[in-house]
Amino acid sequence: MNEDYIHIVLADDDEDDRLFFTDAFEELKITTKVQTYNDGVYLMDYLNSEDAILPNVLFLDLNMPRKNGMECLKEIKANEKFADIAIAIYSTSASEEDIENTFIHGANIYIKKPDNFKKLKKALSEVVTINWQYHTSGLNKDNFLLRL
């Protein structure tokens, strides 16, 4: 890949999940830089700060205290500045309602947190590579929907 690394940000209030997430990326062969935030408020503070490096892919847990994933999603989609960020929802829930609703509000990817570390690695790898294709191969980002 042509950039030095892929910039990835995760907002999740669950410590174990953040651990699985960073561990998974460490074990993947793709060069990535992963940042994690403990909830939506911390995340938005970071994204809105002036010197923020905007991520290529942003992973959002839906169920978070203070500001949940859906609120973050709406805020991000309302701001032109964040138009290039691919948004992945990263949630325990797999209800059709949640999935369709987040897609409708502009999410690109929906990942149900897997119950197996191998599956997690596979899913994250898929997200990154497909996102990369959308980034480099002239695919229409507006039509980018992926459910894992």
Partner 1 sequence: MPLKSIYRAPWFVKAVFVISFFLIFFVAGVTYKNMSDLSDSSDLVTEKYEVAIELEQILSYLKDAETGQRGFVIIKDSTYLEPYFSGRENINNSLAELKELIKDEPEQGQNLIELNFLIDNCLANLEQVQRFILKEQNNINSPAFEPLFARGKKIMDQIRAKIKVMLDVQNKKLEINQKEYENNLKVTPIFLYLLMLLSLLLLIGAYFKIISNLKKLEASNQALELFKESANQSEIVSKHGNWTWNIEKDTFSFSDNLYRLLGEEPHSFAPTIANFMKFVHPEDLEKLSAQVEEMKENENLPFIYYRVIHKNGTIKHLKAYGKVVVSGENRRNLLGTTTDITDEIESFRALEKRNLELERNNKELSAFNHVASHDLQEPLRKIQTFLSRLEDKEEDNLSESGLKYMSRIKNAATRMRLLIDDLLQFSRTNKADKVFEVSNINLLLEGAKQDLAEVIARENATINADAFPVINVIPFQIQQLFANLIGNSLKYKSEDRTPEINITYEMVKTESEKLLTNATADSYHKIEFKDNGIGFDNEYAERIFVLFNRLHNKDEYTGTGIGLSICKKIIENHQGFIFANGETGVGATFTIYIPVV
Partner 2 sequence: MKLFVKFDFNAVCTKVLTEKLDALDVKYNLLGFGEVELLEKLSSEKYAAFTNALSEYNIEIVENQKSILVQKIKDTIIDMVFNEETIVNVKTSAYLADTLEHSYGYLSNLFSEVTYTSIENFIILQKIEYTKQLIIEGNLSLTEIAFQLNYSSVAHLSTQFKNTTGITPSAFQRIITKRREIQQNN
Question: Using an 8 Å Cβ cutoff, are 62 and 81 in contact?
Answer: no
Q: Which is nearer to partner 2, 60 or 130 (CB)?
A: 130
Residue 20 interaction partner, one of partner 2, partner 1, none, beta carbon < 5-8 Å per kind: partner 1
Q: Rule CB under 8 A: which residues touch partner 2?
A: 1-2, 29-30, 78, 100, 103-106, 110, 125, 128-130, 132-133, 136-140, 142-143, 145-148
Is 107 in contact with 80 (CB distance < 8 Å)? no
Nearer residue to partner 1 within complex by CB, 76 or 120 = 120
Question: What are the tokens at 80?
Answer: 């032109």
Angle CA 11–12–16, to nearest 5: 135
Nearer to partner 2, 46 or 114 (CB): 114
Q: Which does 138 bind (CB under 5 to 8 A by kind): partner 1, partner 2, none?
A: partner 2
Burial code (b: 16+ CB inside 10 Å, e: under 16) for 40-69 equals bbbbbebbeeeeeeebbbbbbbbebeebbb
CB of 116 to partner 1, least distance (A): 4
